[in-house]
Chains A and B, each alone.
Chain A
Amino acid sequence: MTIQFLGKSLKNPMVLASGVLGNSHDILERVHKKGCGLVTMKSIGPEPRDGHKNPTVIDLGCGMINAVGLPTPGYLNMENEWNDLEKRDFPLIASVYGGSVREYQMVAEFVSSKKPDFIEINISCPNSEKHGMIFGVNPQSSHDVVSAVKNVIKVPLIAKLSPQALDIGEIAMACEDAGADAICAINTVGPGMVIDIESQMPVLAFKKGGLSGPMIKPVAVRCVFDIYKAVKIPIIGLGGITNGKDAIEIIMAGASLVGIGSAVKYGGINVFQKVTDQMDIWLRDHDLSYEDIIGAAHRKG
């Protein structure tokens, strides 16, 4: 199944979520070769940043909690990676973040010159006080960031949204109005907290962290449903997708592409091909096409 997305041809609708395995050209290439249509780099920020101390990622069985804390070499310190990525033969999303509208703009403009296929702006990370989510929970600040970035980049813009917004449809509308070409939803849920009762301490060094994996899938499906109702631009749906039926479900809510992150823990790098194959089988068995089912839950409901 070949998919057209914002003028690019993708070998399947699977997307590697930002923050998962996106640390180098070689690993992104491997994820693509193993069956992922579109891969996303780890979020790139304005200044070098180490992220939080460990523990940063804990598996809870029903999903994960993480507060990695937006580590980044800083957009000006990635020349080797950009040189490798320039020669790539796979479609790429570069994710960017900042601590102010000006920083988002500065990072995105530079990153745009390195010619990724798409730029995703992360206005939804819960793991830093100053970056990310603070911009994405308010329609006005979302609009400000998207329009500022849109003005300075030469590739399509994807806005990555947080489920913490009071009305995620309204945020998506603000992003669309500001010139976003697509929406990616959702980032992690929460933040939540896990306390170890023996040491009587929060387990994550940052104390709180974003939830992901199977436990958040119903939140993701609802968010994508609300966004589909609110905007006309395409949606990358993600949050707890681990198999073909999950993917079908979020597509029926309105997603055109399907992201996977935490499920790499459960299914390894082959999970993208596995989910694609399971989707193909389900569609064939039901005599339906991929296009038929996008947003189907809106028409049947």
Chain B
Amino acid sequence: MNTITDQKHIMLRVEKKVIENQTHATLFFAQELSFKPGQFIMVWIPGVDEKPYTISFHSKERFSITIEAKGIFSKHAIALGKGDLVGIRGPFGNGFDVKPDEQVAVVAGGCGMAPLAPLVEKLNENTTLIHGARTKDHILYPDRFNIQKLFCTDDGSLGKKGFVTQVLEQQIASGKHFDRVYTCGPEIMMYHVFKICETNNISCQVSLERYMRCGFGVCGACVCGSRVVCKDGPVFGSTALREMKDFNTKALLKSGKEVDLSQYFSWRCK
């Protein structure tokens, strides 16, 4: 069997597809992968494009990526099925810093649950998972983890009607102690999670997203302040975040033009 290195891509066939809900699907590949939670791979659909995806499930025999149908590429990706061919490069990036003995919270917004899922499976059973989504149907992997799970939805169809940040604040206010918070989701959500952590003296790790090309820290497409998201990140801790002035403010378009984050995300979702 081919082994994946971070050099040349290898071609893999989709082993199976699991439909999560009307906008999300998970593609499994029967391939061994040396991997740390939070790392990502570059996924090439021949003739379409190549994009970064974090690993959403990992075992010795297989791994998966979870796709949210949003833009041109992801709509192609979600239409793939068993036997379809894709190119994979990676894994790239630093991944989460896993401290198995800590008391931690994992805060996920929408598809941000994907990179956090293999992390949750490495953490201890005292971990608190706070997962928010648009509706009950958009909650990813609702039955996968055997830990305390606190859900919230925009429409109140599952758990609290509201935001993950409110749930996190309530947990802290009710006396729950966290050594660390891991988070992934919309950048504005992660920013507020980080602020809550700062106020409460909790160390925080966020997984950022920027438009990427090479995946290995050379082309500079994904710079965020002085950091290269693909290689220095995508996971950044509190120390880096405190001085990262582009966090929740600015990003580069494909042309390299620096824009406000709202403009960046409206372009990314096309």
Contact = CB atoms under 8 A, between A and B. Distances in A.
Interface of A: 19-24, 26-27, 29-30, 42, 48-51, 53-61, 64, 66, 68, 71-74, 77-78, 80-81, 196, 198-199, 201, 203, 205, 261-262, 264-265, 268-269
A196 B46 contact: yes
Interface residues of B, number: 38
A90 B42 CA distance: 34
A205 B225 CA distance: 28
Contacts of B157: none
11 contacts: A22-B220, A24-B258, A27-B220, A27-B225, A48-B255, A54-B50, A58-B8, A59-B89, A81-B258, A201-B47, A265-B217
Interface of B: 6-9, 11, 42, 44, 46-47, 49-51, 85, 87, 89, 213-221, 223, 225-228, 231, 246, 252-258
A73 B254 CA distance: 9
A73 B221 CA distance: 12
A199 B85 contact: yes
Given A59-B214, A203-B44, A205-B50, 4 more contacts: A22-B220, A27-B228, A49-B255, A196-B46
B219 A54 contact: no
Most chain B CB within a 10 A radius of its CB, from A20, A48, A58? A58
Given A205-B49, A265-B218, A71 B256 contact: yes
Contact of B50 (A55, A64, A74, A261): A55
A53 B49 contact: yes
B217 A264 contact: yes
Contacts of A64: 218
Contacts of A203: 9, 44, 87
- Identify the 6 closest CB pairs spanning chains A and B, nearest first: A73-B257, A54-B50, A57-B214, A199-B46, A26-B226, A198-B11
A206 to B, nearest CB: 12
Contacts of A23: 220-221, 223, 252, 256
Given A60-B7, A198-B85, A205-B49, A21 B255 contact: no
